[in-house]
Structure formats: structure tokens, C-alpha cells
Amino acid sequence: MKINFSLNGRNVDVETPSETRLSDILKDNAKIGSVHTACNKGECRSCTILFNGDAAASCLIPAFEARSSEIVTLEGFSKTDDYHDIMQAFEETGTTLCDLCRGGTILTIYSILERFAEPDEGQILDAFRGSICPCTNIRIIIQVVKKTALYRRRKRFGRK
């Protein structure tokens, strides 16, 4: 089966069996380094991408669903101002992320902030339920999300 999709802003054509996981296509065909497959159940977030604008576990997406979709990985997202805002918030908390969770954590934070301009703790906890890596903790993630939301408001509206 031939599928076509946008990957980090460029058009990609892949020939693959329909049951192939998108995570495998991204790793094996597109050579995307930020996509890992640790659990293959969508729980660990190590394969998280932005799939048509929403954070999604690419290990749960069969190839046929990727047809005509827009996919952004950490490699593409790292070129945005939003990425730099999130990284600034992590730096200010003195936290670094491991390679396994970095992409999933950053893209999930972005996804939260796209849905909620000022997310509350419950909204953040819901987005990260069951998927916090041992390299950090949810309290730090909450701080980072709130700091990044503040940076975004200041840039967009010039207010706190």
C-alpha cells in the first residue's frame, strides 16, 4: 500500500503494508530519531507526534490512517518559537528530559497549550495520566506548562 503524508512540512510517499505502525514508518523509513517504541501500547509517550495538530502515540496509528495526514515530530517542532518557550521553562526549573520522554513530553505540553490558554492542574494531569517518565515528576511538568502558558500570553497579548 502506498501512503502519502506531510512530515515536518515536507511531502512523503511510503510503500508499506497497511498494518505497519506509523511509529515504525517514522523510525525505519523516515529515520526520525525522536520517535521511540518502548511499550507499543500508547502508554509511555516515547513515540508521541503531532498528528493533524494533536499529540498522539504513533505506535497506535496504522499506516492506512496516516494517509493525507499532517505529522510533526520533535525534529520539526524544535524549529518553532513554541518549542523554545517550552525549553526555556524547563531550563528555569532546572530540569532536563531524557531522550526517551523528551519528544512526548514537549509535544504533549504544546498540545495542552493549544487547547487551553491557561490550563489548570486537572487539565495537565489528565493529559499526562499514566505517562510520566522517571526522569522528572508531574509537579515540575505542571510548573513548566504554567510558565510556558505565561510566556505565550505575554507574547500574544502583552499581559500576565
What are the structural domains, with CATH classification, of the chain? 2-76 (3.10.20.30), 81-157 (1.10.150.120)
pLDDT tier at 160, thresholds 50, 70, 90: low
The type of residue at 64 is F
Q: With a cut of 70, say whether residue 110 has pLDDT above it.
A: yes
The model's pTM is 0.92
At residue 73 the predicted structure's pLDDT band, cuts being 50, 70 and 90, is very high
pLDDT at 141: 94
pLDDT-above-90 percentage for the chain: 78
Confidence check: pLDDT of 46 > 60: yes
pLDDT bucket at 114, cuts 50 / 70 / 90:
very high
pLDDT of residue 45: 85
List strands edge to edge, sheet with 10-15. Answer: 10-15, 2-7, 70-72, 48-51, 54-57
Grid cell of 79 as nine digits: 524549529
- When pLDDT is averaged across residues 116-130 and rounded to a whole number, the result is 92
> Whole-angstrom Cα distance, residue 36 to residue 34?
6
